[in-house]
Every structure is written in C-alpha cells, then in structure tokens.
Amino acid sequence: MISRRKFILSGAAGVSALSLRGRVPVPDDKNTDIGTANKPVVIATWDFGVAANRAAWKVLKNGGRSLDAVEAGVRVPEADLKNVTVGKGGYPDRDGHVTLDACIMDEQGNCGSVAALEYIAHPISVARLVMEKTPHVMLVGEGALQFALDNGFKRENLLTPEAEKAWKEWLKEKKYQPIINIENTSFTTERLPGNEYNHDTIGMLALDATGNLSGACTTSGMAFKMRGRIGDSPIIGAGLYVDNEVGGATATGVGEEVIRTVGSFLVVELMRQGYPPEEACREAVVRIAKKKPDMAKQIQVGFLALNKEGEYGAFALQKGFSYAVCHRERQDLLIRGKSLY
C-alpha cells in the first residue's frame, strides 16, 4: 500500500503541468482523501453494488480470480427483478423489447462484449464466453442471441409485468427526459412502487490476491431508448477498461457522453500518468462538462476507478452517485461519490 502523496510523486514524471492546469473547481474539493485497501478488493457502482460486491467477495476471499469475482458479482443485479436498469426486469426499449448490454475484461487485456442482446438474463456471462470462445470481442443482437443459445443459455422473457406497466405508462407521452441519477429510466413519472432502485449501470472492478485486475459492466441501457440504441456499457474503453499494469475504470450514467470521451480508457490513461483514481475520474468528468456545459448540468455521468495498488475513487457530474467497496476489513462500505455540481 502506498500513500496518496507517494503515489502522486511516484507518478509525477508522467503528469504534464499542462494536464493538471485548468480544471473546473469542484464545490466539495476540501476532502481529498482517497480510499486504499489491501488486496483483494472489489468496488462497484451505486447502492446495489453492495450486494454485488458480496457475491464477488466470496470468490476473492478464497484467493479466487478477479475475473470470476466480477462475473459472479454483477450477476446479482442482473438477476434482481426489482432492478429496472440491469438484466431481467430492466425497462424495455420504446418498442417494448428488453435489450441488454454488457462487457468484461481480464488481466491479460482479453475482453468480450454483447450488445442489444434479448431473452438472456445474464449478458455478462455471454460476454465472457465471447471473450473465451470466439476470436471476436463483440457480438450484437440476433448473432449474440444465437451464440448464447448455442452455448446452453436459457431463452426467457425478460419483460416483467412491472416493467411492461412502466413502458405502457411512458407510451402515453413518449417523452425523453433523463432525470439525474435515474438516467436509465428516462421516465417522467414516479418510479414503480416497491422498486427500491433508481439507478443505472453496474460497473465492477476487482483486484485479486495475486494482484490481477478485472472488470465487468452490465445494463439494460437507457429505458425506452430507440430500437437498436447501444450505450457505453458494452463498449470497451467507454463503459469499462482494465490495464493490469495500471488499473481499471468503469462508467455509469448517460452513455452517449461516456462514449464521446472514451471515458474509462481516459481514466486509466490518466492513472498511468500518475493521477490517483479519484483525480483521474474527476478529470474525465470535467472533459464532459467542458464539451457541453449546459447539457452536463442536466445529466449524470459517473466514473469509478481502482488502481494496481488498491487505491480507489470516483467522481460524478452530479451529486447522488454512490459506490460500494468491499475488502477484508469492510465488506459493505457505501461511499457517496464527489461531484462537479
């Protein structure tokens, strides 16, 4: 474990003065503490990351591989029918189809991804198989479904009665109006009774006992999206990126803006230059805000990062972003992420 100061100093050679200048000041900049954990450690976006981390921890605490941990972890919200933004139970597109996006990346830079996948409850496991069993990185739509079925995945209806009800409600106005921290619902009325989740993509990063990093990211995407719309989550470098020499990053929020900045890759490259995780996430958020200042005030984008030393951090455009941390001392830590606005 190394201190923040030491880390900055150790990476200082790579940080140009230019890149550290001109950042947009943030209101809650006083507290610059960052988290550090001895490996193994797993972190995940949003409140539902706590339950997901617990599943990942079962793998990590016994010396398991980070890749197995992140897959096991994100399968929890994928299976949670109350979660309207990930997996089965996710809100459908504007035509009523539940289409899922996911990607996974291991310590060797291998990666797999599926986009616009229908009828399969665990897209993350299909993404892993794309990585492990095909010469490709990404399969989409019909082809991804065919691949999943050929590999024994069960075809099932992913549209729950609750999600269908919400979709029919949305059809009355057909209005796209992202709500901060509820981007994936794009839903102008109250969330469904009994639905405790109002959040977004799960992105998870793990550092295992051997010091290897992996990541996973999975979502049902923006609710009531256009048919065929794909966000950042299945796109390597946007929704997720892992470089085992440096660290990993993942994103949540309005995927279009994450794609435009190749956000997760940017965060990892900033960490390579010596930025601590939180600072790297902040810089990526600031780039989004600089490009479209008016729009950035109305949407949420958050980044989460973990470096090779077990240091972690996050930063979001708006208040309300949370992330969960799990390591030997604390298995259920939930941290309120800092924000630009």
Cβ proximity to ligand GLY: between 195 and 219 the closer is: 219
Q: If binding is defined by CB under 6 A, does position 252 make contact with ligand GLY?
A: yes
Classify 145 as helix, strand or coil.
Answer: helix
Question: Considering only 12-20, 171-179, 227-235, 322-330, which stretch makes contact with ligand GLY by CB under 6 A?
Answer: 227-235
Q: Is 46 left (phi over 0), alpha (psi -120 to 50) or beta?
A: left
Binding of ligand GLY by 203 (CB under 6 A): no
Q: Which is nearer to ligand GLY, 34 or 222 (CB)?
A: 222
Tally of CA atoms within 13 A in the half-sphere of 326 that contains its CB: 29
CB of 303 to ligand GLY, least distance (A): 11
Q: Which of 45, 160, 201, 250 is catalytic?
A: 201
As to burial, measured by CB atoms within 10 angstroms (0-12 exposed, 13-18 middle, 19+ buried), residue 337 is buried
Active site residue 201: yes
Nearest Cα residue to 118 out of 137, 94, 93, 81: 93
Q: 10 Å Cβ neighbour count for 109?
A: 12
Assigned token pair, 205 = 């990063």
The 279-298 site mask, x for binding ligand GLY (CB under 6 A), equals --------------------
Transcribe 232-266 into DSSP letters: STTSBTTTEEEETTTEEEEEEE-HHHHHHTTHHHH
Q: Toward ligand GLY, which CB reaches closer, 103 or 192?
A: 103
241 contacts 249 by C-beta, under 8 angstroms: yes
Examine residue 300 and tell whether it contacts ligand GLY (CB under 6 A): no
Q: Of 34-42, 218-226, 310-318, 329-337, which part binds ligand GLY (CB under 6 A)?
A: 218-226
Residue 60 vs 216, nearer CB to ligand GLY = 216
Figure out which of the listed residues 37, 111, 124, 222 binds ligand GLY, where binding follows CB under 6 A. 222
Judge whether 310 and 304 are in contact, CB under 8 Å.
no
Task: State yes or no: residue 253 binds ligand GLY (CB under 6 A).
Answer: yes
| Residues in contact with ligand GLY by the rule CB under 6 A | 200-201, 219, 221-222, 231-233, 252-255
> Which residues are designated catalytic?
201
